[in-house]
Every structure is written in structure tokens, then in C-alpha cells.
Amino acid sequence: MTSSGIQPRQDGDAALRLLRDGELTLEGRLVDASNATLRGVLTLDGVSAHCVYKPVRGERPLWDFPDGTLAGREVSAYLVSRATGWDLIPPTVLRDGPFGPGSCQLWIDEPADAEPLVGFVPADALPPRWFAIAAARDDDGTPYALAHADDPRLARLAVLDAVINNADRKGGHVLVGPDDRIYGVDHGVSFHVEGKLRTVLWGWAGRQLPPDAVQVLDTLAGQVAGPLGEELAEHLTISEIAELAARIDRLRDTGRFPLPSEDWPAVPWPPI
């Protein structure tokens, strides 16, 4: 649950109404974020919840993404996630706020005892059913491995990242909610027309997609050609939507998780 008692999956419509229409009061800034990322409280009709507000004016210019488009990409990622039925991204809207228009996403509180699904582990003590992704060493030279769990929830997130062309799936962008669901956050650098998939979730690279993912992709292809495509057109270009459809078709044709590109860094930095 979030701080309001609103559950992102079961109470999606209520969460969206709160995000769109609630009074937004800011509490502070998340200083580790590269763009202006503010935590706030939304209040509407006696219901309140924490949120993450990312104003467009606080977006740092990037060489490969058009200025002022990251908030719309955050919303687009949510719309695609919702269309899959997996609900892997917390409810997200584009709205006005204290610093102008920006994305506003429901805050997910992670339980203190939540088991991490991605991280650095001793190289000689990889947990059972975990994939080692990259080698690393600490300041003392002790070998570690960047690794993640072989978890079907993460596998779904890896499929979603391939669909939206997520260029920044860090381990810290994977949250475990108190409802034992996982959520992906921070999708501002997604939907580029060029292949830019950069992630820590490479454990299934080249393997067959789960049967449920194939079914979801079949449904998603029709949605992009219809109502979902119309919603995305408010935030993405025609070319970006066309390439989204092409990525879905390629995944359907191969039936396999994508392989890392040889032309683009495969893992984001920092990875966590």
C-alpha cells in the first residue's frame, strides 16, 4: 500500500483521480536524481498519498532526447504498462504543479524487510536462482557480481523494458511494494527510435519469452494500433509510436528476450 491506503493495482482509477486533481504540497527534493525530482503529498476529498513530481522545467538537457519530453515519456511508460495488464509501473499522469507541468507518479513505500531482487553479491556466494550480469570489485579488491533474481516478476519487467526501449533500468529503479508486487520507476529516457536498451536485467538474454508474455505482446500490438496509440500520441511522436509497434513485432517474431547491443552500453551507470 501507499501512504494513503490506495493500492496502485486495485484502486487505479482512484489513484489517477488523486494524481490529476489532488492538491499537491511539496515536501522536498530527491537529491540523488539527475533531474529535478520532488516528493510531495496529494490531498483530495479527505484522501492523501505521497507522490513523485518531476517538473518539465527541471529536466536536464540530453544529447539524444528532445528537450522537455521526459515527463511525457514517464506517462507513456505507465500507459503501456497498464495496457499489458501487468501493472508494473505506478499510476502516473501529466499535470500542472508548483513548478509548472510535469509527471506525477504515486509513491511506492518499500517495506523495511523487503528482499532486494537486484544488487552486488559476493562473487563466490551467488544466491540460488540468481543470474550474474557483470563482474565488479570493492575498494579492497574483493570480487563481487552484479546480479538479479530469476524471478518471473522481474522477467515481466524485462519484457516491458524491451518494449519501451528503456535506456536506464538501474537496480534502484526496481521497487518491491508492500503488496509483494514489484514496480519499475524512472522511465524518462524511453521510447527512442534508436535501440538504446540499457538494463541490469540481462539474465534472460536470448532465452524464450514466457508464454504469458507472448500473449500480452499479441494483445499489445493491437492496442498500439488502436486506443493506446491514440493516448500515446499526446506524448510521443508518430515515429516513436511506429518504432514501438516495430519492437513489439520483433519480440513476437523472435519469441525471445533481446540480446545486448554491441553498439550501445548494455548496463547503465551507476547500475544501482
C-beta atoms surrounding 50 within 10 Å? 16
The pLDDT, as a whole number, for residue 171 is 96
Q: What is the mean pLDDT of residues 179-207?
A: 96
pLDDT at position 2 over 80: no
The pLDDT, as a whole number, for residue 30 is 87
The pLDDT, as a whole number, for residue 182 is 95
Is the separation of the CB atoms in 217 and 248 below 8 Å?
A: yes
pLDDT at position 11 over 70: no
The pLDDT, as a whole number, for residue 3 is 46
Is the separation of the CB atoms in 182 and 154 below 8 Å?
A: yes
**Grid cell of 129 as nine digits:** 536462482
Is the separation of the CB atoms in 178 and 1 below 8 Å?
A: yes
Chain-wide mean pLDDT for the chain? 94
CB within 8 Å of 69: residues ≥ 6 apart: 235
Summarised one tens digit per residue, pLDDT across range 209-242 is: 999 999 999 999 999 999 999 999 999 999 999 9
Summarised one tens digit per residue, pLDDT across range 57-100 is: 999 999 999 999 999 999 999 999 999 999 999 999 999 999 99
The pLDDT, as a whole number, for residue 231 is 97
Identify the residue with better confidence: 6 or 108: 108
| Cα 12 to Cα 9: distance, rounded to the nearest angstrom | 5
pLDDT at position 37 over 80: yes
Summarised one tens digit per residue, pLDDT across range 166-191 is: 999 999 999 999 888 999 999 999 99
Has this prediction a pTM greater than 0.85?
Answer: yes
pLDDT at position 208 over 50: yes
Q: What is the mean pLDDT of residues 193-208?
A: 97
Residue 251 φ/ψ, nearest 5 degrees: -65, -40
Question: For residue 218, with 0-12 CB atoms within 10 Å meaning exposed, 13-18 middle and 19 or more buried, which class applies?
Answer: exposed
Q: 200-213: b or e for each residue (b if 16 or more CB lie within 10 Å)?
A: bbbbbbeeebeeeb
The residues that bridge with 106 in the sheet, in sequence order, are 51
pLDDT classification of 264: cutoffs 50, 70, 90:
confident
The pLDDT, as a whole number, for residue 8 is 57
Q: What Å distances lie between residue 127 and 18, 225, 272, CA to CA?
A: 40, 42, 18
Q: What Å distances lie between residue 243 and 48, 165, 195, 224, CA to CA?
A: 38, 10, 10, 11
Summarised one tens digit per residue, pLDDT across range 107-150 is: 999 998 888 999 999 999 999 999 999 999 988 999 999 999 99
DSSP one-letter code for 33: S
pLDDT at position 254 over 90: yes
pLDDT classification of 23: cutoffs 50, 70, 90:
very high
pLDDT classification of 1: cutoffs 50, 70, 90:
very low
The pLDDT, as a whole number, for residue 179 is 81
| Rounded-to-10 torsion of CA 114, 118, 120, 121 | 70
**Grid cell of 130 as nine digits:** 540468481
CB within 8 Å of 45: residues ≥ 6 apart: none
